[in-house]
Amino acid sequence: MNYRLFVFLLALLFPAKPAKAQEGSTVAATDAAWCWFSDPRALYHREKKEAVYFGYINSSGDVMVRSLDLRTHKMQEYTLHEKLQQDDHDVPSFLFLPDHRLLAFYCHHNGDIFMRKTVNPEDISSWEEERVILKKDSVNLYCYMNPVMLRDEHNRIYLFGRNIVRRKNGINQPWGETGIYCIYSDDDGSTWSKKTNLLDNSGRNTPQYVKYATDNKSRIDFLFTNGHPKQGADISVHHMYYEKGAFFQTNGKKIGGFGDLPVLISDVNKVYDPEAGKARSWIWDIALDAANRPVVTYARYPSETKHEYYYARWNGRQWNTKKIADAGPYITIIKPGKKLLEAHYSGGIVLDHANPGSIYLSRQINGKFEIEQLKAGDTAQRVSVTGRSLVDNIRPYAVSRGRGRRPLLFWMAGNYYHYTDFDTNLKMIK
């Protein structure tokens, strides 16, 4: 019998005793899910009001945005797009403009990239008309949105995500020549540049995945794989960064300029080599420390039912890597009569970007996924965020409020069957 199905049936037969709710935790949104490759999916912003803004997909396929005023506790909600797709890949990501209006980006899972802009600062009740800024066609399919604004480039906005090119030499392919699109805007999103491909995967017929970090001034860091872990045992983790028109290895060695794109993945130094580690991998998070050095989290997969979390920090000369925890198996619950589709969906391990020595993770404890907080330097000291839960707690996301302040913590709570089939809410701790 499948492992997760076995645990699921045991939970039905012998339900756990309910636990007291975590002090300070609230349900931020019911019927809500998100993936982890479009960020920021939640943002803290403080100007005339202090609020958190976050997005999600519901089971009707509506693209939703909410804001919570942290002083008055007033919640606002807006539907960016009704019935786009019942798929958590479509979750919106956000960026605040210098005038404090909010940009929202969302997508089809392998389709179009959409954008909307609020009419007024710090107010999600009114939006400009929806625009398609990347349109799918017979060749190109788009997914994921990761906006970054750099002050030193006159507030240029970069947008990154996945582009599957379905045809090569006139032949359709399952994944095609998958790339990472890059477009940019110098006028607050009113117009966008032509598309550029960021990465070259040497013709591998598998999608690469990227996570992004920035100092919001001059630098963008990229943590990426050379494929999907279910499509190869040799899935590695790489890092590079962009600054002042050029791309660099982690150690500062120049790779090439913006005009030299795409960067060949096989030429980029590895954070993790699966040949040495003897397990495929996938990425979870990247942040920059106070010295602008990258800190990353990722998962290794000795088997489908044994996921492991790792933390790596660049010390200026090399990556210092540490195993953080055994995560348990995949989060996907397999319904009777269904097959396992996503064996590499872990509970999740993320960083407080204002203090990347602080880690939040989801791992299986007594048959359910629970959220924990710990310090990278002392993994034995764990603080339980959830416990004795009746449902899984997965995909945590820490929303930074600045150095010296505790982040706002979000996560999904419920039963997760597939990215198109979920019964989850978003919870948060302020």
Q: Outline where DSSP puts E strands in 201-305.
A: 210-214, 219-225, 237-243, 246-249, 254-257, 263-264, 270-272, 280-288, 294-303
**Range name among 26-35, 203-212, 276-285, 292-301 with the lowest pLDDT average:** 203-212
Question: What is the CA angle 198-41-407, rounded to 5?
Answer: 115
What span, in angstroms and rounded, lies between the C-alpha atoms of 182 and 312?
26
> So what's the pLDDT on residue 205?
83
What span, in angstroms and rounded, lies between the C-alpha atoms of 35 and 145?
11
Question: DSSP letter at 27?
Answer: E
Determine contact, residues 155/131, Cβ cutoff 8 Å.
no
Alpha-carbon 327 to chain mean position? 18
> So what's the pLDDT on residue 167?
62
Q: Which amino acid is at 64?
A: M
The dotted CATH code for 38-197 is: 2.120.10.10
What span, in angstroms and rounded, lies between the C-alpha atoms of 298 and 30?
28
What span, in angstroms and rounded, lies between the C-alpha atoms of 7 and 13?
10
Please name which of 296, 306, 351, 349 lies closest in space to residue 326, comparing C-alpha atoms. 306
pLDDT digits (tens, 9 = 90+) for 315-344: 999 999 999 999 999 999 999 999 999 999
Range 1-30+208-430: architecture per CATH: 6 Propeller (2.120)
Please name which of 103, 56, 126, 118 lies closest in space to residue 84, comparing C-alpha atoms. 56
354 token code pair: 């204002």
Alpha-carbon 13 to chain mean position? 34
Question: Domain ranges in the chain?
Answer: 1-30+208-430, 38-197
pLDDT digits (tens, 9 = 90+) for 355-408: 999 999 999 999 999 999 999 988 889 999 999 999 999 999 999 998 889 999
Q: Which amino acid is at 416?
A: Y
190 token code pair: 């009113």
> So what's the pLDDT on residue 26?
95
What span, in angstroms and rounded, lies between the C-alpha atoms of 370 and 16?
13
What span, in angstroms and rounded, lies between the C-alpha atoms of 102 and 116?
8
pLDDT digits (tens, 9 = 90+) for 13-46: 444 333 333 456 899 999 999 999 999 999 999 9
Residue 157 phi, psi (nearest 5): -105, 125
Q: What is the mean pLDDT of the chain?
A: 93
The reply to whether 38-197 shares the fold of 1-30+208-430 is: yes
> So what's the pLDDT on residue 8?
47
What span, in angstroms and rounded, lies between the C-alpha atoms of 84 and 63?
7
pLDDT-derived band at 304, boundaries 50, 70, 90: very high
* H or E, element range at 277: helix 274-277
pLDDT digits (tens, 9 = 90+) for 50-77: 999 999 999 999 999 999 999 999 999 9
pLDDT digits (tens, 9 = 90+) for 135-190: 999 889 999 999 999 999 999 999 999 999 876 655 565 556 789 999 999 999 99
Q: Residue 429: beta bridge partners? A: 25, 409
Question: DSSP letter at 71?
Answer: T
What span, in angstroms and rounded, lies between the C-alpha atoms of 27 and 29?
6
Please name which of 156, 214, 160, 161 lies closest in space to residue 185, comparing C-alpha atoms. 156
Determine contact, residues 425/29, Cβ cutoff 8 Å.
yes
